[in-house]
Amino acid sequence: MSFVPTYPLWILRGLTGSLAIAALLFLSQAPATAADVITLRVGDQKGGNRSLLEISGLATDLPYKIEWSEFPAAAPILEAINTGALDVGYTGDLSFLTVYAAGAPIKAIGGTRSDARTQAIVVRNDSPIKTAVDLKGKKLGGTRAGWGQFLIAATLEKAGYKIEDATFSALGPVDAKIALLAGSIDAWAVWEPYISYATLKDNARVVADGEGLTPTITFVVASDQAIATKRAAVSDFLQRLNKARLWSLDHIPEYAKNTSELTKLPADVLARAYAAQRSSPIVIDESIVREFQTAADRATRYGIIAKQVDVSKSVDRNFTAAASGSN
């Protein structure tokens, strides 16, 4: 950060002409103090972006400071960005859009896309439900205003049903897992690594997935304030995340082992989840905006989002305009 300093008169009083100019130049080029270093306040979840940056070796030599805050889920990260307590975080596409539609001063600046089949509806192995057609009249659990609720509505619609033809139960992943195993709900709409855990450890079955129904994008989001005042740091952080994500695709066993130690989830579950997801950086371009707009319109029709949203205004394309990535 460069600036024009102001110095007490006693420093300058005895200096004239070129000597005064030389002194000013010397003092203005002095190393920046700790107070001058930008701090990027980043929201994370256990085993999330912080551990990914560290294990990939991309958390070193930062030209700014990162102040990490760990949260149990994406929803409180979004709320913290909305209130100005954080600069950057990450969340699922529809969760982001729900908060943006409510007036939050945030933008999606980048992110990753995963295989759509890694959003799925699972049932107990002894369930009579075999396909999506069997979901009519059943009690289905999932997250409200996010992937879970959207996948349930989209799956019912694809099967030729109305949303009202099944009962939606708003449950977070932990409660939904317990409810499914106890038989309190008939099926659970969820994502990785919960799908891999359910199938590998709880003997659950997948009866429908998000292929052709959901964008399956996880957005990196930033506050409008951070974009305006810390743009270079935000941009560098995003590019490091993109590089780290590409690194993870070639180091799945190592990445899974590291995340397992942090989250206490089994390494085989995480390795299966990462291999299935193949999460890759995206470039926010016109095709992404169109796809996201289609999903947003469907979410409005399903009653997940209260009003129509112009998705193009919710993103800042400049951060990924020159980036390498795959849509």
What would the pLDDT profile of 41-92 be if each residue is shown by its tens digit? 999 999 999 999 999 999 999 999 999 999 988 889 999 999 999 999 999 9
Percent of the chain with pLDDT strictly greater than 70: 87
- Of 98, 78, 100, 102, nearest to 90 (Cα)? 78
| Segments forming the whole domain that contains residue 237 | 35-114+217-262+282-319
Q: Look up residue 108 and give its amino acid.
A: A
Q: Determine the residue type at 310.
A: D
Q: For all residues of the chain together, what is the average pLDDT? A: 89
Q: What is the CATH number of the domain that holds 92?
A: 3.40.190.10
What is the total count of domains within the chain?
A: 2
In the chain, % of residues over pLDDT 90: 83
Residue 215 near residue 296, CB atoms below 8 Å: no
Rounded distance, CA 312 to CA 50, Å? 29
What does R_g of the chain's alpha carbons equal in angstroms? 24
Count of H helices and E strands in the chain? 13, 11
- The CA-based angle 139-207-95, given to 5 degrees, is 65
Instruction: Give 7's pLDDT tier (boundaries 50, 70, 90).
Output: very low
Say whether both 85 and 223 belong to one domain. yes
The larger pLDDT score, comparing residue 232 to residue 145, is at 232
Has residue 12 been placed in a domain?
A: no
The pTM of this model reads 0.84
DSSP category for residue 83: T
110 with 226, same domain: the answer is yes
Query: Residue 3: inside a domain, yes or no?
Result: no
Q: How confident is the model at residue 35 (pLDDT cuts 50, 70, 90)?
A: low
Q: How many residues does the chain have?
A: 327
